[in-house]
Amino acid sequence: MNLVGDEDRIPVILDVDTGIDDAMAIWYALESPRLDVRGITSCFGNGGIEVTTQNTLLAVELSGRSVPVYQGAAHPLASGVVDTAEAFHGANGLGEAVLPPVRGHAEPEPAAEYLASALAGGDTTLVATARLTNLALALALHPELARRIPRVVVMGGAAFCPGNVTPVAEANIWGDPEAADLVFQSGIPVTMVGLDVTHQACLTDRHLRTGGPDPERAYADVLATATEFYMRAYNPGTPAGDRTCPLHDPLAVAVAEDPTIVTTKPYSVRVALQDPVTRGMTVVDARGHAPAPAHPVEVALTVDAPRFVHEFCRRLGYNLVP
Ligand code: RIB
Ligand code: CA
């Protein structure tokens, strides 16, 4: 990847529910030569909002960078029920890694208000790797925002593959389907980086055997422990060959940085809301005779996984396998 001057960097805001792969995504973004991370907003999801906010602050501190963090939604739009993902991220959200104390604090401004003012400038891409609640709340406060946001890259959904929470629903959409449908229907240009591609973009035991991540990185211990937890969660029992785990959230950051890492196609995407069996499903209209979508969503269909995973390992300090 080419180095660019600071003025040419792509301004982005990350909206996260940190979470193991969110922490990886934060480090991937903060090590990017092409992205300018202006702020990070937290949302409930992989843990409660206090946990995900503290983990976000910690990820930033361990990166050695200074980026403001804004605390966001504590529950989905339509209910007070928060369904966390302890099995995949641990009770502390970071795979039970021993966490150093967090020194900083979230900014006083709530995430939705920060998003509304920061995105109104019209030049900043939002990379959302959590429930879409914060953005939905910002749109509720300022509906005109939909016309100002150049792009939202969403890690979420499952277009032509099974879900990971229910047979048809992916976690970030399942966790707040009303928010997701509102965003998909808002007219904001959305790129959907769903399980269709994130399940192709995996870290494997081959990468972990290299001895990385680089112990010089302040986040190395947390990353190593969290990755092993995540690997075990994705590969229960005694797997026969190398284990693999999907790099969901880092891939969304990679797409914001370099859209050519995936191929996409525009579709109408609705989120199923009513029926308990299909709730949270991303319903993609792939009929040959489908009417032109009013609000097309660019759905990622294929990914150059070797290129992405190689860059992920290089950037986070893993020794590369030749
Ligand atoms: O389905 C994967 C998504 O759910 C990722 O964003 C992960 O962090 C979890 O929130
Ligand atoms: Ca996430």
* CATH number of the domain bearing residue 130: 3.90.245.10
Residue 321 lies in a domain: no
Q: What does the block give as tokens for 114? A: 């920060």
Residue 52 lies in a domain: yes
Q: Which residue has the tokens 């196609």?
A: 265
Mean pLDDT, the chain, as a whole number? 95
Q: Which of 168, 171, 143 is nearest to 156 (CA)?
A: 171
Cα→Cα distances 284→78, 85, 135, 260, 288, Å: 23, 26, 21, 22, 12
Whether 46 lines ligand 1, by a CB cut-off of 6 Å, is yes
Residue 322 lies in a domain: no
**Domain membership of residue 62 as a residue range:** 6-316
Instruction: Please tell me the residue having the least CA distance from ligand 1 atom 6.
Output: 129
Residue 1 lies in a domain: no
Question: b/e map of 193-209 (b: 16 or more CB within 10 Å)?
Answer: bbbbbbbbbbbeeebbe
Q: Which of 182, 178, 239, 157 is nearest to 205 (CA)?
A: 239
* C-alpha atoms less than 13 angstroms from C-alpha of 217 in its C-beta half-sphere: 25
User: Is residue 268 within 8 Å of residue 294, measured between CB atoms?
Assistant: yes
Residue 289 lies in a domain: yes
Q: What does the block give as tokens for 120? A: 């109104």
Measure 205 CA to ligand 1 centroid, in angstroms.
21
Confidence of residue 2 (pLDDT cuts 50, 70, 90): very low
Residue 2's φ and ψ, nearest 5 degrees, are: -80, 145
What pLDDT, on a 0 to 100 scale, did the predictor assign at position 230? Answer: 97
pTM of the model: 0.96
Q: Is residue 196 over pLDDT 80?
A: yes
What pLDDT, on a 0 to 100 scale, did the predictor assign at position 3? Answer: 54
Per-residue pLDDT averaged across 249-267, rounded? 98
Q: Is residue 242 over pLDDT 90?
A: yes
The string of pLDDT tens digits covering residues 33-52 is: 999 999 999 999 999 999 99
Q: Is residue 267 over pLDDT 50?
A: yes
Total structural domains within the chain: 1
Q: Is residue 84 over pLDDT 90?
A: no
Residue 38's φ and ψ, nearest 5 degrees, are: -85, -30
Contacts of 117 (CB under 8 A, 6+ apart): none
Residue 273 lies in a domain: yes
Whether 129 lines ligand 1, by a CB cut-off of 6 Å, is yes
Kindly name the residue from 89, 142, 248, 289 that is annotated as catalytic: 248
Whether 15 lines ligand 1, by a CB cut-off of 6 Å, is no
Angle, helices 133-141/177-184, rounded to nearest 10 degrees? 60
Does the active-site annotation cover 199? no
13 exposure class (CB count in 10 Å sphere: 0-12, 13-18, 19+): buried
Which atom of ligand 1 lies nearest, measured to the CA of 246? 2
Residue 130 lies in a domain: yes
Residue 49 lies in a domain: yes
Confidence of residue 321 (pLDDT cuts 50, 70, 90): low
